[in-house]
Amino acid sequence: MSDLSSLSVTAALIGLARGDFTSRDLTHACLAAILKHDPELRCFLAAEPEMALAAADAADARRRKGGDLPPLLGLPIAVKDVLAVEGMTATAGSRILSGFQPPYTATAVRRLLDAGVVILGKTNTDEFAMGSSTENSAFFTTHNPWNTERVPGGSSGGSAAAVAARLTPAALGSDTGGSVRQPASFCGVTGLKPTYGRVSRYGLIAYGSSLDTVGVLARGAEDVTALFNVMAGHDPLDATSADRPAPDVRLSAGATLKGLRVGVPEEYFIEGIQPEVEERVRAAIEELKTLGATVQPVNLPHTKYALPVYYLIAPAEASANLARFDGVRYGLRVENEDVIEMFKDTRGAGFGPEVIRRIMLGTYALSAGYYDAYYGQAQKVRTLIARDFLAAFEQVDVIAAPVAPTTAFKIGGHGDDPLAMYLEDVFTLPANLAGVPGLAFPVGFDAAGLPVGMQLMGRHFEEETLLQVAHAYQQTTDWHTRVPEHK
């Protein structure tokens, strides 16, 4: 039997259905890979071997019983530690939630559990999903499996690295400003940020409520589709959930893209972009042309404002959302007889420097006398960014662009320069501000052997188009099948 932990979602589901191996076999192989490689990579905040094997045994028993079986029965996955799973801790990578166990499960996770998945454990994240490198985790930094001196990206770095290292066939992430797509690019995997409202946010520990999305990371578009079809759909528990029927994305076997119009925004090919990133992305766009697509330039003129707009809106929402962590009801409490001092001491000890920075930025932007000048103005420009996308999608079906200006940078490479870190998300932020779906997938490597990713952005609720384009590309290329040397 080959190394089962290296199987893709698609291959794993086929093998399980044929009886080539059991869910216990597959889950045990993933847990063994975690035990072997995670001490170096640090992808998991908490693996759950006993719970995982018990769930795998239950899946095997259900398969033996026969009948109408759920679509993902026995498939092991990992979950980013910003999503609530009953019976597992949910820290959001923060000391302020140390030991917290939610009494409920996030809707996206619940739907996957109902579809038969086995949860291997919770993956590392930048604290409250605030970061682009997973260096902001309160517990430890995750390492990129392609080069352990490099970051895996963030904030879903633990999930992306775990998929790339073949510790799990797939993992869940969250994307507020690029936190699924950027680590997917840095780690050479495929990552989907759905349309805002397409996947329920219930049970997702909130960062920026008008921006947060729950996404998927896996090897290829076909694998991502299998999980997305289950997760997406209306949820009455989430007031921002779109009242639309659940998708039923079926990817065609053919690799033709005849009739597809691809837009290329020059605003995304900026001065300072790593030359190899631009070369690989433009080569991938040429491959789409070879597959039958037509390519034309599009303009997204307000893209240059996305970074300042995001870093007013997201911190403002974080300032409000993180006010609930005060030491009163759950998580860390620094005892003090004076309740106000207890609040201060708990938040001071529990939040890391990046979270504190963003809370302060957001509180300032919302304060009396500054609200209209900063937060209010940012919301107006956000509308202009969204209109840019609407205008572009009147001319094209998808927009193709780099995911990040560079490949994975060295751990500690941005040191105490938060602006340099924020610039890592300059190409991913606009899709969140506009609420449109985005899909990142590997299109090559740089001279140092680090993955390069391209992203496709589409019209609201047209994830199927993005997945179909990536699937067609992945049928004629093998970048998504490349494996880091440690395997």
Catalytic residue set = 80, 155, 179
Mind giving me the DSSP string for 267-307? Answer: GGS-TT--HHHHHHHHHHHHHHHHTT-EEEEE--GGGGGHH
DSSP 236: T
Q: What is each CA distance from 406 to 43, 185, 328, in whole angstroms?
A: 22, 10, 42
Give the whole-angstrom CA distance, residue 20 versus residue 6.
15
Q: Is the peptide bond before 8 cis (omega within 30 degrees of 0)?
A: no
E-only strand ranges, 355-433: 398-402
Q: Where are the alpha helices (DSSP H) in 291-376?
A: 306-321, 339-350, 353-366
> 118 near 86, Cβ under 8 Å?
no
Q: How many CA atoms lie within 13 A of 302 on its CB side?
A: 24
Task: Look up tokens 């209306």; give the residue.
Answer: 234
**Cα 36 to Cα 5, 14, 41, 147, distances in angstroms:** 12, 26, 10, 17
